[in-house]
Structure 1
């Protein structure tokens, strides 16, 4: 073990005997009391010394072996200690790729803050490289989401869309002006490959699978508890993968028509519900940005639940929705560039949180912000009892199980 204090967390002395690691309340930790010798020892935790050498130098500072063990245990429990060498063999391979690591170093540093265990940040980055995400839509939102996911280390990012890129599809971080006139999926695939920090990982069949290759088919989110529908890389439409590719970890639904996000068609989502594939909606309609819900099939409200709940609140909703879907559309939908960029960034962040094993705030919830004030608001998308997805029944069973559990009692 070569322990090091997580460099992503800034240090400051709160007083003569207390050190604070981290600036913001979400991640700040105070450690004390810390005497002069212990403070000097903390400076030695830079990842260049193994435990035997650390104990020798601690002895020279007048610190006992027992004191050092207790200090290291406290730092580890507080999530302040890192050790990139402890991240596992897959992470070791990534760590030896200097060019890729130079690109990903800020991402790994961020992951080290939210992953408390030593080597957790690098381990999660290595895991991202083995994941496969599909983005449905190559407009101002979808193409930017795909670019960010690829740049953040997701090994396989596919983009599905039809038609050819138009001038109004161009966006900073999305499709470039040179893509106008090209097939949208081909242009988006090139964007994904250009955004990747390095070549994609080898496929399970032994070939290579570069990201985007379209030749083939203030608090951290809560952890998934046992018995819930948890984010897993083996949930996918094609559970065995295709052409040696891993199964889908997530589908990001970002169609160029924002109505398909604000009121997603139930039929489109039916195969994802049936296969248990998590999917996250994102887009812009008129002057409103929408992120979510993240749907965990069988566990959270889906497109069908959303449609039924709206009809319960507004009996005229189905009539109007049918008109909007079948009516003549304008040639160019309203999609503010800055709003689309904000939606894409938030969507990618929530997708990455999910892929890294957390349940972000969009899980079973939708976030909306309207121009010009951009006040982000969330609305729960709960399971509906009449929806065929079965999430309402699962929620009822979970509540019944909770009520049936024996309660702890305290002796008076």
Structure 2
């Protein structure tokens, strides 16, 4: 096993100056590089030992000390890793899935270096339930599945309505088809090895997504969905797509905290919210729906990968243009049972 370059674009400023990446905040520049450096870099693919790299350097006119100095410089700026992240992926992951996830692994390598494979492996093992408005849910499921979240459950009944169809989601040709069958076809087309079987009641999912009218009373969720370690709200309010909040029991505000905060601002809120129950989601353009799906997908992956997403205990509102117009912070409410000592 040899060293592997982190997959940033390599650009030569001149014959002896090499830049990795183009972002001003993260780009790396190495100067004073000898001729023949490009031949050495070409072998930093994880398949060549240091001895093989030194031999290639010698053929290109570099001494062993010059090659070692180059490798040391790459290590100091975290441009190279001494392990192949792909080796940390599950051994039973199909070859087709490995090929499909190369882009995800490369992106994670830019952030996590040698540990990218561990992060992606954990993502593959996550379990997510997606419930509610299928105009949001199905495209979001395809994003998650294609990004490596292969264990998804999308409870569904009835038949597809034409109003539910959209790009990356249910298709116009699915109209009047059994919704569960149509959803499975769409998601499996994005990730053929995804597992869409219902979760047993004993399973505790990593996340439940609840898509529906913003502020509506909590829907009657299946048992596993209610037990999830975290929950993300996703919906529309007066044309604004709203992503969040993402709540984690015992660590953030909970859905009840959010409703109590809304009632503090408007004492009549409970009466208004009750009228939202069972109502269809407010209209939202295809472009804004897809923007919300992309944002929600990125936030979910950040959470599942162990990061701290912007929607943790907060919600982001997107205008019809796709621009984020507001971020609302939701804090634990002092009157909520989740903040009592007995709930800790």
TM more than 0.5: yes
* TM alignment of 1:177-216, pairs within 5 A: 177-196=172-191, 198-200=192-194, 211-214=195-198
**How far apart, in 1, do the equivalents of 2:131 and 2:334 lie?**
28
* TM alignment of 1:346-361, pairs within 5 A: 346-361=295-310
- 1:334 aligned residue (279, 283, 287): 283
CA deviation digits over 1:348-406, x for unaligned, max 9? 1111222222121111111001225734421111111221223x879xx9xxxxxxxxx
- Aligned CA distance change for structure 1 residues 146 and 369 (closer, same or farther; 3 Å): same
Residues 158 and 189 in structure 1, CA contact (< 8 A), matched pair in contact too:
no
Match of 1:51 in 2: 50
CA deviation digits over 1:112-142, x for unaligned, max 9? 222222xx33443333332221111252111
- Aligned CA distance change for structure 1 residues 372 and 48 (closer, same or farther; 3 Å): closer
SS at match of 1:361: coil
- Aligned CA distance change for structure 1 residues 21 and 309 (closer, same or farther; 3 Å): same
- Aligned CA distance change for structure 1 residues 289 and 321 (closer, same or farther; 3 Å): same
The yes-or-no answer on 1:114 pairing with 2:103 is no
The yes-or-no answer on 1:320 pairing with 2:269 is no
**How far apart, in 2, do the equivalents of 1:77 and 1:278 lie?**
38
User: Alignment length, in residue pairs?
Assistant: 342
Structure 1 residue 18: Cα displacement: 4.2
**How far apart, in 1, do the equivalents of 2:155 and 2:22 lie?**
41
Match of 1:163 in 2: 158
- Aligned CA distance change for structure 1 residues 98 and 161 (closer, same or farther; 3 Å): closer
**How far apart, in 2, do the equivalents of 1:179 and 1:31 lie?**
54
SS at match of 2:134: coil
The yes-or-no answer on 1:253 pairing with 2:210 is yes
**How far apart, in 2, do the equivalents of 1:343 and 1:100 lie?**
26
The yes-or-no answer on 1:144 pairing with 2:139 is yes
**How far apart, in 1, do the equivalents of 2:285 and 2:254 lie?**
27
TM-score calculated relative to the size of structure 1: 0.72
Residues 140 and 337 in structure 1, CA contact (< 8 A), matched pair in contact too:
no
**Deviation larger for 349-358 or 100-109:** 100-109
TM-score calculated relative to the size of structure 2: 0.84
Which consecutive segments of 4 or more residues in structure 1 shift more than 6 A? Answer: 269-274
Structure 1 residue 55: Cα displacement: 3.1
**How far apart, in 2, do the equivalents of 1:145 and 1:178 lie?**
19
Structure 1 residue 146: Cα displacement: 0.9
Match of 1:154 in 2: 149
Residues 311 and 318 in structure 1, CA contact (< 8 A), matched pair in contact too:
yes
Match of 1:307 in 2: 259
- Aligned CA distance change for structure 1 residues 264 and 294 (closer, same or farther; 3 Å): farther
Residues 115 and 121 in structure 1, CA contact (< 8 A), matched pair in contact too:
yes
**How far apart, in 1, do the equivalents of 2:139 and 2:118 lie?**
25
- Aligned CA distance change for structure 1 residues 78 and 386 (closer, same or farther; 3 Å): farther
- 1:102 aligned residue (99, 103, 116): 99
Structure 1 residue 300: Cα displacement: 0.9
Match of 2:121 in 1: 126
**CA RMSD, aligned part only?**
3.3
Structure 1 residue 153: Cα displacement: 2.0
